Amino acid sequence: MRRREVLRLAAALAGLPLMQGCERVLRLGLPVRLNRPGMDEGHRLRAGLTPPEPAGERRCRVAVVGSGAAGLFAAWRLRKEGLDDVLVLNGPEPDGNAAGGAFGECRYPTGAHYLPLPSRESTHVRELLAEMGVIEAAPYAERPRFDERVTVHAPDERLWRDGRWQEGLLPRLGMGKAELAEQARFLAEMGRLRAARGADGRKAFCIPLALSSRDPAWTALDRISFAAWLDANGYRAPGLRWYLDYCCRDDYGARPAQVSAWAGLHYFCSRGGLAANAEEGAVLTWPDGLNPVMRHMRARIGAARQLDGAAWRIRERRGRAEVDYLDGQGGSRRLSAERVVVATPLFVAAHLCDALPSLGFQSRHLPPRASWLTANFLIDRFPEEPHDMPLAWDNVVYGSQSLGFVVSTHQLIRAAKPERSVFTAYHAFAGGDPMAARRWLERADSDALFDLAAADLSEVYGWRFRKNLRQAEMTLRGHAMASPAPGFLSNPGLLALREADGPLLFAHSDLSGLSLFEEAAWWGERAARKILA
């Protein structure tokens, strides 16, 4: 292989751009950055391209491959417990779905933008938040005290319907008595199920998922879709069904007909986190979403233990585990470790690790994956808002196929609005063929992507939004998250990888089938505990 080809392959596998530059939305002359993290690297792995054999080897006790929430949590735990000989290979996108960016001083998320108040069972997350100072007192009590700067401020949610805003996301204004009665019945049922327990004494629906009841009376819900459960229980009101469709797209990247009934109910019944100084249902958020949590873990791990580059092969040899990777400079390197934590999505791990079939995981066990588009829009002036319904943190359009937009500066405590802000819009490609969505994302130009990303903002503000728009960045994730299809709880491949305890360990939210920070952190915690044991 010629050196130029090696350099191009290294850049692709390590996620390093071959050139810098922006495209433009031609109609507006707007500068826009297009990011497709991991696409080139994933396609090259799928094609089976093999770089040259590594020229050098570095030995360590533990190597963590991937620096999303699971990988960083595993390394954070190992370091916290005194294990120093740990190396983290960042992968093509450091921080994964919790990455962030900035327009100058204005930070924004390119993935996850909030964290619900952690459940009492999520002691691992509470410990991390206490170390950060986000939990200020009583971290393991029923109602810890949280830093009010990151507890979402009011108004937190509003819904645009029929040309006006209403408070909250469940549509109520203009709804008839029958619709409102059905909404009330559904909410009461969710309240009952939050307290439900199985014959084994566990909560029916819990975060982390692994602590949920295994009572067949509850797990049987995983054999049908959420849509089928709603139909069977008489929940057919249009406003309620739209809201539930929105919730499934928002958390799972799929529609109720594609989502397990168990997972659909888990969305409403599992969390239960409370705070001494916040309302029930509050969330934690920062201008750049969850990225400050990732930066904290990186600081604790230490920069010297973090390597840029992306793996192209992971294998077991002579009782150790080897990670072959490209470092972005054209160099093929090797890490030789006693244990390797594979913290990549499983569709990537399936290409990296030939050993997966011997561990009980086959390609048919891969969960379906949803594509996402996240867009950040820099504005130099806030749009005018109704006096009785001011700008909220989360703003959603009723009936939209997108997921609304959040405001990056919402948490800033100031006497007046800042001069500039970033609105972050989300779109999940739910309901259709995932492969077709990924093909469209590969081909789409900046104008088509902009129109899709800005649909909700254009619906609400029209030309007024574009008038004050100065810059945009769009992040395309073709395999953004696993979706919990019916049967996901009993997926034998996921169950096998959860139990792996040899040279290769696995840690990713994919092991739960739910793309949630708490789940990713749980599997990072479990992998670290196996090593420490």
DSSP 257-324: GGSBHHHHHHHHHS----BTTB-TT-EE--TTTTHHHHHHHHHHH-GGGEE--EEEEEEEETTEEEEE
CA distance 391 to 412: 13
Give tens-digit pLDDT for 466-491. Answer: 889 999 999 999 999 999 999 999 99
Q: Looking at residues 354-381, what average pLDDT do you find?
A: 95
Can you tell me which residue has the tokens 């059905």? 182
282 exposed, middle or buried (CB, 10 Å; 0-12, 13-18, 19+)? buried
Instruction: Give the DSSP H/E element, type plus range, for residue 126.
Output: helix 123-132
Confidence (pLDDT) at 27: 63
Confidence (pLDDT) at 5: 37
For residue 152, pLDDT over 80 is answered with yes
CB-based contact 122:208 (threshold 8 Å): yes
Position 103, amino acid: F
Apex CA 169: angle with CA 163 and CA 171, to 5°?
60
C-beta atoms surrounding 381 within 10 Å: 14
Confidence (pLDDT) at 15: 38
Q: What share of the chain is helix, strand, coil (3-state, %, to 5)?
A: 35, 25, 40
pTM, rounded to two decimals: 0.93
The mean of the pLDDT values for the chain is: 92
Q: And the tokens for 232?
A: 């069977």
Would you place residue 100 in the very low, low, confident or very high pLDDT band (cuts 50, 70, 90)? Answer: very high
Helix axes 291-301, 69-80, angle to 10 degrees: 40
Confidence (pLDDT) at 29: 78
For residue 430, pLDDT over 80 is answered with yes
Instruction: Give the DSSP H/E element, type plus range, for residue 34.
Output: strand 30-35
Share of the chain above pLDDT 70, in %: 94
Would you place residue 415 in the very low, low, confident or very high pLDDT band (cuts 50, 70, 90)? Answer: low
Backbone angles phi, psi at 436, to 5 degrees: -65, -40
Give tens-digit pLDDT for 247-265. Answer: 999 999 999 999 999 999 9
Give tens-digit pLDDT for 7-31. Answer: 333 344 433 333 234 666 656 778 8
What is the DSSP pairing of strand 145-146 with strand 369-379? unpaired
Q: And the tokens for 254?
A: 């799929």
Confidence (pLDDT) at 39: 74
Give tens-digit pLDDT for 487-502. Answer: 999 999 999 999 999 9
Q: And the tokens for 288?
A: 């750049």
Confidence (pLDDT) at 3: 34
Would you place residue 291 in the very low, low, confident or very high pLDDT band (cuts 50, 70, 90)? Answer: very high
Confidence (pLDDT) at 13: 40
Give tens-digit pLDDT for 381-409. Answer: 999 999 999 999 999 999 999 999 999 99
CA distance 51 to 5: 9
Confidence (pLDDT) at 158: 97
CB-based contact 309:90 (threshold 8 Å): yes
Overall residue count recorded for the chain in this entry? 533
CB-based contact 468:340 (threshold 8 Å): no
